[in-house]
Each structure stands twice: as structure tokens, then as C-alpha cells.
Chains A and B, each alone.
Chain A
Amino acid sequence: MTDVPLDSHKGPQQPDRRNFLSLAWKVLGLAAAAEFLGVVGAYLWPRRGEGEGGRGIVEAGPVGEFTPASVTPFPQGRFYLVRLTDGGFLALSSKCSHLGCTVPWNEKDKTFPCPCHASVFDMRGNVLSPPAPRALDLFPITIESGVVKVDTGRRIQRERFEDSQVAYL
């Protein structure tokens, strides 16, 4: 500091100090913004398990109640229990794989036509007509002492129908 003249505000040392201070302000400002975003983000972030349907295992009923080649709706569980012609069971999610509308069952055409974007699915959940990019989701089925049970808590996504997806007695 000894050699610096008093009117040195245009001298070589002042800009350094100024640069440092303005840099410090910028860093502090960024840190404050990051903290703000972090706090707001953490506050608003959905907590685990919140807003989940909370639907668990649904007892659909005894095997004999479902005739082959039939589709039975379970509106509460948001699925259709399908019994194929060979007696095998499929639990199809009623949620369209496109954008999540509920698909109704059309008994006359044996199809699930989506009311929102005109996708069509067949009895196995396969896409008959786009825009749906993949088959209807499945829920796992267990058959215990002749009663069909569907686990609506575990949604299985699939590209298309395969024989291994069918549950038999």
C-alpha cells in the first residue's frame, strides 16, 4: 500500500478489488437463487406414496363365474377380467396406453374403442388401430383354490400380447 498514490482509483489495484467484489456478488446471488429453487422444489415435490390409488389385491370371483370368451368389467379396480376362448385369464387395465382415458368394452365388435383419440384394442389388449403405441397394460393374476385374484397394485407394461401372459387354472 506504500507506493500507491491517493488518487489511484484508475490505478492497477482498484479494478482487481472491484472485479473481486462484483464476482463475489454474482456468486452469492447464484447461491441464493440455487437455495431458493432447492427449497421451493423440495417443498413442492410429490412425496412418496402420495396420491396413489392405494388399490391392492381384488378378488374377482370363482373361476366358474366367467364363461370362456367373455369380458367382465371391474370399474372399482379399473380393469377388465378377460376369459379367452381356451379358458385362460387376462386382467387388462382399462386405462388406454395412449393418454390414459378409460376404454369401454364394445360387445358387438369385441373391441375396446378409446373415446379420446380413436385407438382400438382387441380382446387380448392388442392394438387394432393407432395412435396407441402399445397393448393395454396387464395386472398379474393368481388363481387360489378356484378364485381369481388380481393384483391392481402392480401394473405390467407390454408391447403386445404373448401366450406367456395368460393365467390358467
Chain B
Amino acid sequence: MLLLHLHPRAVPAEALAFPRTFGLGGIAVVLFILLAVTGSLLLFGYEPSPERAYGSVREIIDQAPFGAFVRNVHHWAANGFLLVAFLHLLRVLYTGAHHPPRRANWIVGLVLLLLVVASNFTGYLLPWDQLAYWAVTIATGMLEYVPLLGATLLRAARGGSEVGSKTLALFFVMHVAILPILLFVLTAFHFWLVRKGGGVILPRREGEDAPRRTLVSTSPNLVAREGPAALMTLAVVLLIAAILEAPLLAQANPGMSPNPAKAPWYFMGLQELLVHLHPAFAVLVVPLLAAALLLALPYLRYGEAPSGAYFHSRTGARTALAAAAAALVLTPAYVLADEAFRRTPPWLPSLPPAVRTGFVPVVLVCAVLVVVYLAARRLFSASRLEAVQALLTFLIVAFVVLTVTGSLFRGQAMALAWPWAVAAVR
């Protein structure tokens, strides 16, 4: 069993408890394998050209025995992969597993998350339906707002001035060769760093200098837990795939965008951001700031080590909860206020749009973040580690609210609407 060699011979008994990790990393691996298998099967039927792509996907669905099922499994496993990877990130964040000695693995994990997003993104151009065509037109169009290099990057990403056969070829190669190989290699590195960092982070014990933990042998103790978890994952994905059809819209029509034109759910947070902010800020400034924050997390000076328990401490949990509640109120308030604001004639029309709808709101949000941090420190007497955790919670909840707003609360012409009204129009 080659797979067994990923594990040490013995593991701490405490590390086996399910809520320690919720098995999220393992679930992600199972999904990756499932994606590789179904992806290979789909490759037998798929033809990567604008003329044939849509037709070949239709043939897979309508004619190949179990074709629709294989495609459904691939689709839902891909969505699940992204969701599980994100939840895994949250688990690591809230148990403090991104601090030294696991710091390097946090960075590798972030790159892996980026690769998973890229895999999903390159995958959904392939069916060449309306969702595919317009999502990729919009996403590659964002490159135009990169200073100086914009036009060049746009041409390189599309393989020409418009989304066409070259774009499809590029995305196809990325999706079936380059990204899977990178994912495989980096995942192996990720595992190795887990071992090197001393395995799963465990709550520190007070009053002992060198706590001796009870070790139990990996087989059968860990294997007996991983096996059923893997089988459960498989069962859930297959069940979903048997019930829910993977969407396929009408064939791509470069002359007409669907109304509303929505990205897949995992990009709706960004799409919602694009509604509110100047494109240079939504595309470049905000994502770069977010990436910088995530990368810097394990390098900040906290003056204490993480406890290894969820939310670090009771104070940590309480502060994070308060930050989540604040974001839950403030984000919808911002969306509604901006909605009213945008429809009125621009205030200070002499200011360039980048300042009016980009710089000013971003500075405003940064000011709110400073207030959140200070409130955590003063009102909740949180430590620096706990205050940073509260700040991140605020941002994560705000992002989730934006995602939900974009997915469920926007109808025709991306105007705000109640979810049932949105569903009725479709």
C-alpha cells in the first residue's frame, strides 16, 4: 500500500478525533482522484474546438451510456473540491495551524487553493455554452485593467483579441495537463510539509514542559477512520450526481449575453465587488490586498503562539463571533447604500471615476477594518492574535455575504431583487 507511506507509523491518539480536522484535507484528495478518473473518461468524448466542443458535450450527455452521470460526477466533485479546500483553509486558520512550524505549508496551501480555482475556471470554458463564453470574456477582460501590460496580457490570455479557438486550446491544455500536474506535485509537497511540521496541530497542554502524548499505530487506528470517510465522500458525490444535473446552457452566442449573466457561485463574490467598485480596484487592488494579507498572516508578530484549540481561546471565539455579526449587518447595509447612491447623479463629478468609485470606497472599508481591529483590542481586550482573527472573520463573512447577494439577490440587469423574484424570471 503505497498510500500508507504518506502516514507516520504512529499518530497521537488526540489527532484522530474527527472535529480536529473534519477530515477536510483527506476529502479533498478523494475528490481530486475522482476528478482525475472522471476527467479522463470525459476526454475520450470531448473535442476542443469552438465548432465541436458544445456538440461533443451534448453527445456525451445524450448518447454515451452513463455519459451524463460521468459529467455530473466531474461537475459536482469539482464544485465540492473548491468548497472543501476553502473549508480546509478555514479549519487551518481557526486552529492557528498557519503559524510556525507550519508556516511554509500555509503558503503552499494558498497556492494550491489558487490552482483549484484555476482548474475550475479553465474547466467551465470547455463546454462552450453561454455561461462558459461570457464568464471567460468577462474574466479575461479584467486583465485589461492591469496597468501598462493590460492589452498584452489580454491578447496572451485569449490567444487573440477575442475569445475563440485559441482561447479554448489554451484553457484545454491548462485544464487537462498543466494544472493537474502542478496540483499533483504541490499536493505531494503539501503532505511532506505536514509530516515535517509535526502532523496535525493539537491543543497545547498547560503546566507540562514536554507533554507526552499517547501514540497509537496508524494502522488500523487512522486507516480505519480514513477509509470510511473516503467511502462516505464518494457516496455523497455519486448520490448528488445521480440526482442533480450539471448545468449546460445554450451554445455560446458571441452576439448576445444572457440576462443576467452570472459567473459560477464561487466567483459571485468577485462579480458583486465589480458591481460596486471601479474595475481597477475590484480586479487588482482589492485582490492584491487580500492576497498580501493572507500571505503575511504567519509572518506578523503576535507575541504568543497559537493554543491549537479552535479560535485560540474563549475571548478569541467571542471576538470572532462579534466580528462576524458586524460583517453580517454592515455588508448588506453597504450593498443597499451603494445601490441607492449609484443611481443618483455622481457627486463631485470633477473627480475621475477611479477615485470616486474606487479609491474612496476602499479607503472607507480600510477605515472600518481599523475600527474592527481596535474594537476587538479595546472592547473585548483581545490579544493581537485574537484581534487579527476577528479582522479575518469580518472579511470572510463579508465575502460570503457578497457571494450570497450576487448569487441569490440579483435578477435582470443585475438589479437587486428578492430570491423568489429572481427564480421566477428564470
Contact = CB atoms under 8 A, between A and B. Distances in A.
Interface string B397-424: 0000000000000101111000000000
B138 A51 contact: no
Contacts of B142: 99
B159 A50 contact: yes
A133 B353 contact: yes
A115 B263 CA distance: 12
A115 B260 contact: yes
Given A117-B414, A129-B342, A130-B357, A76 B279 contact: no
Contacts of B161: 51-53
A103 B353 CA distance: 21
A53 to B, nearest CB: 6
Contacts of B354: 133
Chain A interface main SS type: loop
A41 to B, nearest CB: 9
Given A99-B279, A115-B413, A51 B162 contact: yes
Contacts of A87: none
Contact of A50 (B166, B261, B279, B414): B166
Chain B interface main SS type: helix
A46 B159 contact: yes
Interface in A98-150: 98-104, 113-118, 120, 129-131, 133-134
A134 B145 CA distance: 13
B409 to A, nearest CB: 12
Contacts of A130: 278, 342, 346, 353, 357
B274 interface: yes
A158 interface: no
B166 to A, nearest CB: 5
A51 B165 contact: yes
Contact of B274 (A44, A53, A129, A131): A131
Contact of B275 (A46, A51, A102, A131): A131
Interface residues of B, number: 42
B141 A100 contact: yes
Interface string B259-288: 111000000000100111111001000000
Interface string A61-83: 00000000000000110100000
B353 A115 contact: no
B220 interface: no
A166 to B, nearest CB: 22
Interface residues of A, number: 29
B258 interface: yes
B278 A51 contact: no
Given A75-B255, A99-B142, A102-B256, A133 B166 contact: no
B134 interface: yes
B156 interface: yes
A51 B162 CA distance: 6
A118 B412 CA distance: 9
A87 B394 CA distance: 55
Contacts of A113: 413
A46 B160 contact: yes
A56 to B, nearest CB: 15
B217 interface: no
B155 interface: yes
A57 to B, nearest CB: 18
Contacts of A46: 155-156, 158-160, 166
Nearest to B352: A133
Contact of A104 (B155, B259, B277, B278): B259
B39 interface: no
Contacts of A115: 257-261, 412-414
A43 interface: no
Contacts of B278: 130-131, 133
Contacts of B260: 115-116
B80 interface: no
A52 B238 CA distance: 43
B413 A118 contact: yes
Contacts of B415: 118
B162 A52 contact: yes
A44 B256 CA distance: 29
Contact of B255 (A100, A102, A134): A102
B138 A100 contact: yes
Contacts of B134: 101, 116
Interface of A: 44-46, 50-53, 75-76, 78, 98-104, 113-118, 120, 129-131, 133-134
Given A51-B159, A101-B138, A131-B282, 4 more contacts: A52-B161, A116-B138, A131-B275, A131-B278
22 contacts: A51-B162, A51-B166, A51-B167, A52-B162, A76-B255, A99-B274, A100-B138, A101-B134, A104-B256, A115-B414, A116-B138, A117-B271, A117-B274, A118-B342, A118-B410, A118-B413, A130-B346, A131-B275, A131-B278, A131-B357, A133-B279, A133-B354
Ranked 4 nearest A-B pairs via Cβ: A51-B160, A115-B259, A118-B414, A113-B413
